[in-house]
Amino acid sequence: MIEAIPQLLVNALALGSTYALAALGFVLVINAVGAVNFAHGELVMLGGFVAVGLAATLPETAVLPGLIVLPGVMLALAAVGLVLALIGYAPLRRAPPVSVFISTIAIGLIIQHAVTAGIGPEPRVGPPLIGTGSVELFGAVIARQQLATIAVAGLLLVAVHALLKHTRFGRRLRAAAQDPVMARAIGIPVVLTTAASFAMAGALAGAAGLMLSNQYFVAPTDGAVLMLKAYVATVIGGWGRVWGAALGAFAIAAFETVVAASVSYLVAEVLLYVGVLALLMLRPRGLFGEAEGRRA
């Protein structure tokens, strides 16, 4: 078993990377509107199916098919995110947050059933980011696809970090998230920043969906599980903490992999949720604290 540790760690890191992308988008919406987008898991799933569809238009000889379609998938899901904001949030922005919960649950179900009806219930395999094959690393055989997933997800996480921290747009986004009334008072277009948050969340969900669809396939009913992972990652990392959620996602993947490889999946699942309960009791604001006023 010891010789398998590098491989298990790389798998956990790759899975954690995709969970982190999903969790990041989830938190962006929480911060923007103060409510949970329960359709986020379905956006990840939809990203996988869009990737499958776009890859089908490429010639069979195309190299790096996943990388080629990645911008298209992110753009398409950014558009879906905007539509979600338009019909799932905008009409309810003055209603209590529970209304947004319900509307996003409804939209998630509509997306799931539309994919089932329009594309079919079969699981599909998405395009690989790079070609298949493996490399030897520390005596373990590691799939090149896993390494590519880690690299691409890492680049996207860094890009989002740079966007939020070091650009005027990012500062406006954060200002509007922290205090929309004050942001509006100083001339920040809060409606636009909210829409941008939904679009970014959609784009990140699309990227996560593409990467998951190749390694772990994609089926119309996958959304609920992905949503749960993003939610738990957010609770672990601190409600509304962008990087806390990403780190929470890595923690979930690493914990699940290590415990499942050492004991069993059932023990891993039970311990994970016992751990989350313990965390809520001991550090109710998560490992990195809660962004002020974000909990809906």
Partner 1 sequence: MSRLFHTLVAALVVMVTAMAARAAEPVSIPVLVPITGFLALEGTAQRNGAVLALDTPPAGVSVTYEVSDTATSPEVAVTALRRALDRFDPVAIAAPIFGTQMLAMAPIANRAGVPLITVSGTAKITELGHDVVFRFFPTDAVVKVAQARYAVRELGVKRPAILYQTTAYGQSGHGHLVRTLAELGIAPVLEEAIDPGIKDLLPALERARAAGADGLLLQLHSGPTALAVRQAHGLGLGLPIVAGSAMHQPSTAALLDPAALKGVCAETASAPIADARPAVKAFAVAFEARFGTKPDAFALGQYDGVRMVLAAVAGGARTAGAVRDWLAANRYEGLAMSYVSDGTGNMAHDAIIVCYDGNSRVPRIVKRYDAVDGIR
Name the site residues for partner 1 (rule: CB under 8 A).
1, 4, 7-8, 11-12, 15, 112-113, 116-117, 120-125, 132, 134, 141, 143, 212, 215-217, 219-221, 224-225, 228, 256-257, 260-261, 264-266, 269
Rounded to the nearest 10 degrees, the angle between the axes of helix 40-56 and helix 5-33 is: 120
Kindly state the tokens that stand for 253: 């993947």
Smallest distance, partner 1 to C-beta of residue 243, A: 23
Q: Which is nearer to partner 1, 12 or 129 (CB)?
A: 12
Q: Which is nearer to partner 1, 178 or 221 (CB)?
A: 221
Smallest distance, partner 1 to C-beta of residue 284, A: 26
What DSSP state is assigned to residue 254? H
Residue 110 dihedral angles phi and psi, to the nearest 5°: -65, -45
Smallest distance, partner 1 to C-beta of residue 116, A: 5
CB 180 within 8 Å of CB 87: no
Q: Which is nearer to partner 1, 23 or 32 (CB)?
A: 23
- Beta-bridged to residue 276, according to DSSP, are none
Smallest distance, partner 1 to C-beta of residue 48, A: 12
Q: Which is nearer to partner 1, 197 or 257 (CB)?
A: 257
- The alpha carbon dihedral of 111, 76, 210, 34 has a sign of negative
Which residue is listed with tokens 């998405």?
A: 126
Environment class of 167 (CB within 10 Å of its CB; exposed 0-12, middle 13-18, buried 19+)? exposed
| Longest alpha-carbon distance in the chain | 60
Smallest distance, partner 1 to C-beta of residue 241, A: 24
Q: Which is nearer to partner 1, 54 or 143 (CB)?
A: 143
Q: Which is nearer to partner 1, 99 or 116 (CB)?
A: 116
Q: From CA 247, how far away is CA 266, in angstroms rounded?
A: 23
Smallest distance, partner 1 to C-beta of residue 4, A: 5
Which residue is listed with tokens 């609920």?
A: 224
Q: From CA 263, how far away is CA 212, in angstroms rounded?
A: 25
Which residue is listed with tokens 């909990």?
A: 295
Smallest distance, partner 1 to C-beta of residue 258, A: 8
Q: Which is nearer to partner 1, 95 or 263 (CB)?
A: 263
**Quick one: which H or E segment has residue 176?**
helix 168-178
